[in-house]
Amino acid sequence: MTRVSVFFCSLFFATGVIIAPAWCYANVSNSLTIHVSLLRFNSPETDPNPEPEVRAGRHRSNQRPLYGSISADGVSIPGVETSDILSFEIYTPEGFCMGAFAEEPEFIQTLFSLSGEYEIRLITEEAVYIGFVEL
């Protein structure tokens, strides 16, 4: 090997030794963002007639989902203030409640500690937002 190739190999190895520890100890949980598709349902308390009336010959179209995200920084749903969310809930796909939280940080910490598929429900006074996440 020539001196130039030995120099570049040494430089490459030294750079890897310096950078590797920082990469190995990076806090992955802070950079994790879950994107979730949510459907909005009227809250039973505010809507006494949850089933819409359908006129003869007409069909009700499906709802358009809202696309939100959950990260270590918080929950983000377009058109919904996080402070308006009364309860953050986590359910198994079978419908068993894993936890109901009044505080957003507790919800996020618990959600990121789980693995598998879960249903999340975000409850406000006016509506319930339901979506599924896979961790």
pLDDT confidence tier of residue 20, bands split at 50, 70 and 90? very low
What's the pLDDT at 101? 97
**pLDDT tens per residue across span 97-127:** 999 999 999 999 999 999 999 999 999 999 9
Maximum Cα–Cα distance for the chain, whole Å?
Answer: 86
Helix (H, G, I), strand (E, B) or coil at 95: coil
Question: Which pTM does this prediction carry?
Answer: 0.68
Which of these, 30, 52, 25, lies nearest to 112 by C-alpha position? 30
What's the pLDDT at 60? 61
**pLDDT tens per residue across span 34-88:** 999 999 998 766 555 555 555 555 666 667 899 999 999 999 999 999 999 999 9
The residues spanned by each domain of the chain are 29-49+63-134
Distance of CA 24 to the CA centre of its chain: 25
